[in-house]
Amino acid sequence: MNATNGHRPTPREPEALRAEIARTRVELGETVSALAAKVDVKARAQEYRDQFGARVRQTAGEVRGRAGQLAHRAGRGPGAQWPMLGAVAALTLVLIGLASRRRRGGH
């Protein structure tokens, strides 16, 4: 690097100059690719939606599992699971509603 302008010194030999141009092209290509990824709003929104959906599905699965454990502990037989399943279904609908509301931009 040159202390006066912050750049590498310009090579004087043709082969060295070609190599410097090739390195600069690679660096420029990487920079353009990184900037393009940052401004691709559609891809970033899709990635966020996928991550959010995965978290909702995971939470719903955990709630269902916990509800099953609680129903089993209650020990009232298979009929005791129906009220708990109704509560799980209601919670799942609430989570889906929140997810779709966020997707539309309504907080």
Sketch the domain layout of the chain as residue ranges. Answer: 1-39, 41-103
The Cα 62–Cα 58 span in angstroms is 6
Task: Judge whether 58 and 99 are in contact, CB under 8 Å.
Answer: no
Helical segments of 1-107, H only: 14-39, 41-74, 81-103
Residue 25 has pLDDT above 60, yes or no: yes
pLDDT at 1: 47
- Residue 63: other Cβ atoms inside 10 A: 15
pLDDT tens profile 79-91? 656 777 788 888 8
The Cα 104–Cα 54 span in angstroms is 18
pLDDT band at 3, cuts 50/70/90? very low
